[in-house]
Structures are given as C-alpha cells and as structure tokens.
Amino acid sequence: GAVVSQHPSRVICKSGTSVKIECRSLDFQATTMFWYRQFPKKSLMLMATSNEGSKATYEQGVEKDKFLINHASLTLSTLTVTSAHPEDSSFYICSARPTEAQETQYFGPGTRLLVL
C-alpha cells in the first residue's frame, strides 16, 4: 500500500513549451501533496504545498506563475512548468500525505525534465 506514482518518468521538451507532471496517490487519499525539486547531487528543495480544492502555497523564491499547481482531487496533483527554459531542467519529486496519517509522506519516483 501507500504508493505514489508520477507521470511521466522523464520528459524532454523544447524551450518555451509547457510540461505537465502528474502525481497520483494510488491507494490512499491525500488532502495535501508536496512538490520538490532536486538538483544533481543535491538535496530536495520544497517548491510548494498543494492542498485539495484550494490554492497552492509556494515557498519563497518559487514563481507561482511559472510552476502552476492544481490539486483537483484527493488523489491527483499536477505541476505544470510553463514556458520552460534550460535552467528548469531538474528532477521533480512529489509526495503525498495520507489524510489519516498526518506525520507520514510517501514519495513518488520522480520526473526528470530536460529542457533543450
């Protein structure tokens, strides 16, 4: 149980295009999901907290108009990187916190984005 999936696992796109990444909790409901970014050989940086049915909370320095987050249901959150640039290339990881277990987060396998 407690599986979180991400799709796609890797994506290559051209500069200026938009890319959508999906994060799904497969066997539990998650009122809250989180989006992280991981640079090569670096730790995870929290980008935003996604709450079902409300606006996401972005961390300082993260552009909300560039990284659009939608949490339309209790099992799905999406991150859209708009007008992607090469510096957006990174490993994006989501996590989902079960509604019944507030201290636990389950992580997706990550999405590797390469912007050419």
Residue 29 touching another protein (CB under 8 A): no
Interface with another protein (CB under 8 A), residue total 23
Residue 79 touching another protein (CB under 8 A): no
- For the CB of residue 49, give the shortest distance to another protein in the complex, in Å: 5
Handedness of CA 40, 46, 51, 55 (dihedral sign): negative
The residue to which tokens 């979180």 are assigned: 4
Q: What b/e string do you get for 2-11 counting C-beta neighbours within 10 Å, with b at 16 or more?
A: eebebeeeeb
The two tokens of residue 82 are: 């708009």
Beta carbon nearer to another protein, 101 or 116: 101
Find out whether 94 and 77 touch, Cβ atoms under 8 Å.
yes
Beta carbon nearer to another protein, 57 or 80: 57
Q: Interface with another protein by CB under 8 A: which residues?
A: 4, 32, 34, 36, 42-46, 49, 57, 93, 95, 97, 102-110
